[in-house]
């Protein structure tokens, strides 16, 4: 039996175990998915221990996504984002991936939205970095807007000057620029925690429009204020569970080498949300 899992702190309410185990069950894969809660600061040590214990794959969540870089060989995308959320132990050293970025792109593709044109990403934390790099890698022009403007500007400057795989077309802004940026955008991603367990949106509703596709990374609640405002403006909407699903699907496929049973994993996720 293969053991997969998640390290995070806290991990009590993670939806990854039922989502992945639904996938194993559907495909007849002999595996279990368990959660581990190492002390803060022990992410790299946890990955090293998992290597010795014969764990086959790990997902990584807050606060360990940067720490584990010290214990893995990150691929080009994870290196650019500066964070790893999936570790594959079939290589030596283990390989680190960032499926938040590729999962976000697959969530758009699932809804027949090709990531092309101009994107606005709100937030420059972990999810914002993944979204910005993921969409810029697809060739989109990305405006990243953050409450702490310096973080958006330095992310954009790093990506514009990066030599690896060529410079990306990314600019950094404060949130006050959203009213100007969103009317010209094709795609909008909320990658802040605004809207989580609260009825607030980080985007002025008057900037939303009918040619826009809006993905909110927040998935508690599934129907956020931003998504309601977007629907009222005639925009297409994608809830945060799609990003969560596809980051898991990408990890599942990297680990097992098989196409993930997306429908079964999605059902397991949504029945628990
Ligand atoms: P993080 O690294 O802590 O970043 C938090 C972000 O939210 C920062 O940009 C922060 O701005 C911004 N923010 C926080 N409070 C704010 C406020 N009151 N007003 C404006 N901006 C505010 O967290 P993260 O890992 O990126 O996660 C962000 C959200 O994405 C969370 O809701 C998380 O659940 C969600 N997420 C979803 C998925 C998925 O698969 N659906 C995956 C990853 C994350 P400052 O830099 O100014 O503090």
CATH number at residue 41: 3.40.50.10860
Q: For residues 30-41, give the mean pLDDT.
A: 98
Query: Which residue among 63, 67, 125, 270 is best mutated to probe the pocket of ligand 1, counting the most ligand atoms within 8 A of its Cβ?
Result: 125
Same domain, 231 and 255: no
Same domain, 52 and 115: no
Q: Is 219 close to ligand 1, i.e. is its CB under 6 Å away?
A: yes
- Residue 221: CB atoms within 10 A of its CB come to 17
Same domain, 148 and 166: yes
Alpha-carbon distance of 16 to 135, in angstroms, equals: 24
Same domain, 138 and 54: no
Same domain, 137 and 183: yes
The model's confidence at residue 9, banded by pLDDT at 50, 70 and 90, is very high
Q: Residues 196-248: pLDDT tens digits?
A: 999 999 999 999 999 999 999 999 999 999 999 999 999 999 999 999 999 99
* Nearest atom, ligand 1, residue 62 CA: 25
Only one residue has tokens 């995308």, namely 77
Ligand 1 centre from 52 Cα, in Å?
33
Structural domain total, the chain:
2
Same domain, 83 and 153: no
Examine the pLDDT at 61 and tell me if it is beyond 90.
yes
Examine the pLDDT at 165 and tell me if it is beyond 90.
no
Q: Residues 74-122: pLDDT tens digits?
A: 999 999 999 999 999 999 999 999 999 999 999 999 999 999 999 999 9
Q: Is 202 close to ligand 1, i.e. is its CB under 6 Å away?
A: yes
Same domain, 68 and 174: no
Same domain, 163 and 268: no
The model's confidence at residue 162, banded by pLDDT at 50, 70 and 90, is confident
What's the confidence (pLDDT) of residue 18? 98
Q: Is 221 close to ligand 1, i.e. is its CB under 6 Å away?
A: no
Same domain, 34 and 90: yes
Q: Is 168 close to ligand 1, i.e. is its CB under 6 Å away?
A: no
Q: For residues 32-61, give the mean pLDDT.
A: 98
pTM here is 0.96
Q: Can 65 be counted among the known catalytic residues?
A: yes
Whether the Cβ atoms of residue 124 and residue 155 lie closer than 8 Å to each other: yes
Ligand 1 centre from 252 Cα, in Å?
24
Only one residue has tokens 């697959």, namely 106
Same domain, 215 and 138: yes
Examine the pLDDT at 21 and tell me if it is beyond 80.
yes
Same domain, 223 and 121: yes
The model's confidence at residue 5, banded by pLDDT at 50, 70 and 90, is very high
Q: What is the CATH number of the domain that holds 166?
A: 3.40.50.720
Whether the Cβ atoms of residue 176 and residue 198 lie closer than 8 Å to each other: no
Examine the pLDDT at 181 and tell me if it is beyond 90.
yes
Domain range for 56: 2-97+243-272
Same domain, 247 and 152: no
Whether the Cβ atoms of residue 160 and residue 170 lie closer than 8 Å to each other: yes
Among protein residues, the one with the nearest Cα to ligand 1's atom 4 is 125
Ligand 1 centre from 27 Cα, in Å?
34
């Amino acid at each position: 039996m293969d053991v997969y899992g998640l390290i995070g702190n806290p991990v009590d309410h993670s939806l990854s175990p039922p989502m992945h185990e639904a996938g194993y069950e559907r495909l007849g894969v002999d595996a279990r998915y368990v959660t581990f809660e190492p002390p803060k600061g022990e992410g790299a040590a946890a990955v090293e221990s998992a290597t010795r214990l014969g764990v086959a794959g790990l997902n990584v969540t807050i606060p360990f996504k940067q720490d584990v870089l010290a214990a893995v060989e990150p691929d080009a995308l994870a290196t650019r984002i500066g964070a790893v959320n999936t570790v594959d132990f079939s290589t030596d050293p283990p390989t680190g991936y960032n499926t938040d970025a590729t999962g976000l792109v697959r969530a758009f593709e699932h809804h027949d939205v090709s990531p092309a044109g101009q994107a606005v990403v709100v937030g420059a934390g972990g999810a914002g970095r993944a979204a910005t790099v993921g969409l810029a890698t697809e060739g989109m022009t990305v405006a990243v807007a953050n409450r702490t403007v310096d973080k958006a500007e330095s992310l954009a400057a790093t990506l514009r000057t990066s030599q690896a795989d060529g410079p990306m077309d990314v600019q950094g802004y404060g949130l006050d620029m959203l009213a100007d940026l969103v009317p010209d955008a094709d795609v909008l991603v909320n990658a802040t925690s605004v809207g989580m367990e609260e009825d607030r949106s980080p985007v002025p509703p008057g900037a939303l429009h009918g040619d826009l596709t809006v993905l909110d990374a927040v998935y508690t609640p599934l129907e956020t204020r931003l998504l309601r405002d977007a629907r009222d403006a005639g925009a297409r909407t994608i809830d945060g569970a799609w990003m969560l699903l596809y980051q898991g699907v990408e990890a599942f496929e990297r680990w097992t080498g098989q196409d993930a049973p997306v429908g079964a994993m999605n059902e397991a996720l949504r029945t628990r949300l």
